[in-house]
Amino acid sequence: MTNHNRRVADPKLVAKRLPQIINAAIQQFGQKGFHSTTIQDIAKTAGISIGMIYQYVSDKEELLYLSVYAVVEHCLRAVEEALASADGPLERYVAVVEGLTRVIDERHAEAVVGYRESHSMSREHLQYVMKREREIGQVLTDCIEECIKARIFRKINADMLMYQSIIFAHNWALNAWRFRRVMTVEEYLKEGLNLMLKPVLIDFETQVVTGSKSSAKATAHPRHRVARSLLEAPKQRRAATETD
């Protein structure tokens, strides 16, 4: 659903102006709310005329949809990249959660607008966004079920852990006012993945998650060493991936 009724056909102009208009809309929606924001407010913030906005979008609701759509599509790309860069089931699960959380971190303003104003989207637009979100959820569920099948995770409700994982990613934006004052996104990922993985990993001891060497039995299994390395340095792992 990216084909909109635009009068401007030049891809270069669209690539230049549309993000400018969407960013102005996000700013105004965040400050005033969707219903209190006018096209005139958006045009003034973007530094363009009202008439120019209508060259690119049909109405204010389309701008709201495009804002939310951008977040969801970036999340899907992050998921695809995570799956391509990770080898085993546990690595894929962790990479997907990290990828989603980082997109939410990078597109924080759009995400918050989506949480607050998605009910104002048209039924057609909302259904499309929900469809794409279900696709993301299914990828996570598949990763979790692979971990269960490989006896990395104990037998759990895969859908429940999937929802917890997605809520965890979005919570970085929803509670940014609290978390950003006390930790980085990397620290949030490490602590959060610790909390989610400890209860579900088979024979996974607390000492392994915290990096302690006091439990020889727990650290003996390669699976535990993999989990510990995944949790200890998400920032370094990401840097290595980007270098590659």
Question: Rounded to 5 degrees, what angle do the CA atoms 149, 155, 160 make?
Answer: 105
- Number of Cβ atoms within 10 Å of the Cβ of 61: 15
Q: 63, 162, 67: which is closest to 112 by C-alpha?
A: 67
Q: Specify the pLDDT at position 244.
A: 56
**Angle, CA of 188, 91 and 215, to the nearest 5°:** 75
Q: How far apart are CA 77 and CA 88, in angstroms?
A: 19
pLDDT at residue number 71? 93
Contact 22, 75 (CB under 8 A): no
The whole model's pTM is what? 0.80
Q: Is the pLDDT of residue 242 over 70?
A: no
Dihedral of alpha carbons 188, 189, 194, 196, sign: positive
For residue range 7-43, list pLDDT tens digits in order: 776 788 888 899 999 999 999 999 999 999 999 999 9
**Predicted local distance difference test score (pLDDT) of residue 226:** 53
**Cα 9 to chain center, whole Å?**
31
- Mean pLDDT over 54-74 rounds to 93
Structure confidence at residue 217 (pLDDT): 41
Work out the mean pLDDT of the chain and round it to a whole number: 85
Phi-psi region of 36 (alpha: psi -120 to 50; beta: other; left: phi over 0): alpha
46 vs 40: CA distance, rounded Å = 10
pLDDT at position 8: 72
pLDDT per residue over 118-167, tens digit each?
999 999 999 999 999 999 999 999 999 999 999 999 999 999 999 999 99
Tell me the pLDDT tens digit for each residue of 174-232. 998 889 899 999 999 999 999 999 999 997 543 234 333 333 343 434 455 555 555 66
Q: In the chain, what are the domains?
A: 1-58 (1.10.10.60), 70-243 (1.10.357.10)
